[in-house]
Amino acid sequence: MSWWRDVRRLAALSWGERRLLLEALIELARARWQLRTLPFNQLVAHLQRSAPAEPVAEPATGRITWSVRVLARRVPWRADCFPQAIAGYRMLQRRGRLARIDLGVRRAADGQLAGHAWLTHDDRVVLGGPGPEHFAPLHAISAQSAQNKAPHDDRAASAGA
C-alpha cells in the first residue's frame, strides 16, 4: 500500500518540512490553475511583479525544491516542469532569493518540437532537470527582467505603423 508508506513518511517529517510540503502543494495548485486560466503574457506579468522579500536563511534552497518535486509526483493533476518551476520560483521569491524561470525548446526524435521549463537560482538549475544544455532557451521570466524592461507604450507603437 503506497499511500500508507506515504503517511508514515509524512509522520516522520519535521513540522518545518510538513509546512514546506503544504506550501508546495498550494503553489503547484495555484500554478496549474493559472496556466489553465490566464493568457501567457498575464501570467508572465504577474510573476515578474512578485519582487523578492527580505532574504531569510531557512529553509535551504534544496529543501524547497525537494518539496516541489515530492508533491509534483503525488498530486492528482498534471504538475510537470512549468508548474514546478512556477511553484519553486514563488517559494524562493518569498524567501528573498532571486530566481529565473527559463523556457526552451528542442526538436524531439520524431521531429516535433518539445518544450521545457526549468528554474535557475544562483546560475544553477535547481528544478526541471536538463536545461540549457539540452534545450534552446526562448524566454526567461524573473523579477529582474521586468525591472530592466522599458515601459511599453501602445500609442508610440501604433503611431510608427
pTM of the model: 0.81
**Better-scored residue on pLDDT, 146 or 123:** 123
Structurally, the chain folds into a number of domains equal to: 1
Query: Does residue 146 register a pLDDT over 70?
Result: no
Predicted local distance difference test score (pLDDT) of residue 145: 57
Residue 154 lies in a domain: no
* Residue 98, in any domain of the structure: yes
Residue 159 lies in a domain: no
Domain residue limits at 16: 2-149
Residue 48 lies in a domain: yes
Segment 18-47, tens digit of pLDDT:
899 999 999 999 999 999 999 999 999 989
Distance linking the first and last C-alpha atoms of the chain: 64
